[in-house]
Amino acid sequence: STSIATLFMAGYGPGLLWALACMVVVFLYTRRHPVAVSAERVPLGLAVKTVLRAVPSLLMIVIVIGGILTGIFTPTESAVIAVLYSLVLGAIYKQITFTHLPRILLDATRTTSIVMLLVGVWAFEFGNVAATLLILRASELLAPGRSGWSRVMGCSSGWRP
Rounded Cα distance, 17 and 28, in Å: 17
- For 82, residues 6+ apart whose C-beta sits below 8 A from its C-beta are 60, 63, 64
119: part of which helix (H) or strand (E)? Answer: helix 101-141
pLDDT of 68 reads 87
Q: Report the candidate in 54, 81, 113, 109 with the shortest Cα–Cα distance to residue 101.
A: 109
Give tens-digit pLDDT for 6-24: 887 888 889 999 999 999 9
Q: What does the angle CA 49 – CA 50 – CA 56 come to, to the nearest 5 degrees?
A: 100
| Distance (Å, whole) CA 91 – CA 109 | 21
> Rounded CA gap, 82 and 15, in Å?
20
Say how far apart CA 65 and CA 78 lie, in whole Å. 8
Report the amino acid identity of residue 140: E
Q: What is the pLDDT along the chain (161 residues), one digit of tens a residue?
A: 777 778 878 888 899 999 999 999 999 998 888 877 767 888 999 999 999 999 999 999 999 988 988 889 988 999 999 999 999 999 998 899 999 999 999 999 999 999 999 999 999 999 988 888 888 777 766 666 655 555 555 555 554 44
Check residue 142 and give its pLDDT.
67
Cα–Cα nearest to 134, from 142, 124, 145: 142
